[in-house]
Amino acid sequence: MRFETTCIHGGYQPDATGSVTVPIYVSTAFAHPEVGQSTGYDYSRSQNPTREQLEKTLAALEEGCDALAFTSGMAAIACVLELFKPGDHIIYSADLYGGSIRLFNEISQKNGISFSALDTGDLHAVKAAIQTQTKAIYIETPSNPTMQITDIKSLCELAHKYHLLVIVDNTFLTPYFQKPLTLGADIVIHSGTKYLAGHNDVLAGFIITAHKEQADRLHFLHKTIGACLSPFDCWIVSRGLKTLPLRMDRHAASALRIAKWLSKQPKIRKVYYPGLVSSPRQEINSKQTTGFGGMISFEVDSEDTAIQLLKQLKLILFAESLGGTESLITYPLLQTHCDIPKEECAAKGINERLLRLSVGLENVNDLIADLKQGLR
């Protein structure tokens, strides 16, 4: 099946009732036919039919061997980190979602895992950072919030020479625009709360893996830790997936128009959007993606302008999430990266003038009009 068809059907066939949508199985336990036999479902934390269908769909969309659904993106990341043990070392993209960095610094380091943050788009820097204890490289591309690009295929070729796992957070682009596993990555992570569900109404996270051995270990961790997505929330995400291609095309088309418009405004000092020809590593990004997504970051001329814009916007909502039908604008320094030291943020370009915009599905002319009046 092609991508759009998989989003809608996901291999699901109507059951005996003829239900055209996946049923919501709320049962926590499933009866055994007899001793030593199982229907394939025993206890919903181990597996649930509604969750299983969603996981199969995500695995097919990312072209992986298996997928697991979690209660949030952070729960998914935390589970992946349980693949490692005290003494292991992980390299990660310096420009990364602040919640991921918080998890690394406050939880994983306490548990004996060490980290090095650098520009993972610089392969020479990555190679120089590899240690005897290094076990993985963790990246976002485009990164959050300054849209830094990493060449996934080249990074994977380097990493695999040293027997390292490559883990890619693919939240911003989704498998519709980028498929890291087909470029050599070992594990893909999503905050399903964002574009996959797409309506700002559910928390979810996903892991998709390329290898059965990893999948088996992750399933063990999944049921042991227990942060499994509920049947109803799985159904909500499944419903959102049905329109993923349509939504992503609209997000991306509107974002490109807005990024070009912002680039011409006198109060805008810099625009971060991978679809602009002036974007760093734009050629590499174009080779590994089929679209540029709906996320834009931009730097205004002063802190006062940033605060005034956030106050004056009427249609675009000042809120911390992304990837939904509604356009949302975020102040990274005080929201997504509030737990990162200010000097560290400044080194990444995250300052009091930087804003991040998640372009929704509203009419793009209305969004530009709102930004225009807010920048007056």
Active-site positions?
A: 45, 97, 169, 194
If you count them, how many residues does the chain have?
376
Q: Retrieve residue 138's tokens.
A: 């963790």
Give the long-range contacts of residues 183-189, CB within 8 A, separation 24 or more: 183/152, 183/153, 183/156, 183/288, 184/152, 184/153, 184/156, 184/157, 184/160, 185/152, 185/156, 185/210, 186/210, 186/211, 186/214, 187/80, 187/214, 188/62, 188/64, 189/73, 189/76, 189/77, 189/80
User: What's the order of all strands across the beta sheet hosting 89-93?
Assistant: 66-70, 205-209, 187-191, 165-169, 134-140, 89-93, 114-118
**HSE value, Cβ hemisphere, 13 Å, CA-based, for 31:** 2
| CA-based nearest residue to 239, from 188, 215, 210, 204 | 204
CA dist 333 and 351 (Å) reads 6
CB 70 within 8 A of CB 193: no
DSSP assignment of 24-36:
----SB---SSTT
CB 58 within 8 A of CB 67: yes
User: What's the order of all strands across the beta sheet hosting 354-358?
Assistant: 268-272, 295-300, 354-358, 328-330, 317-318
Find the helix or strand (DSSP H, E) in which 6 lies: helix 3-9
CB 89 within 8 A of CB 135: yes
- In the chain, beta strands by DSSP E: 66-70, 89-93, 114-118, 134-140, 165-169, 187-191, 205-209, 268-272, 295-300, 317-318, 328-330, 354-358
Q: In which residue are the tokens 């996901």 written? A: 10
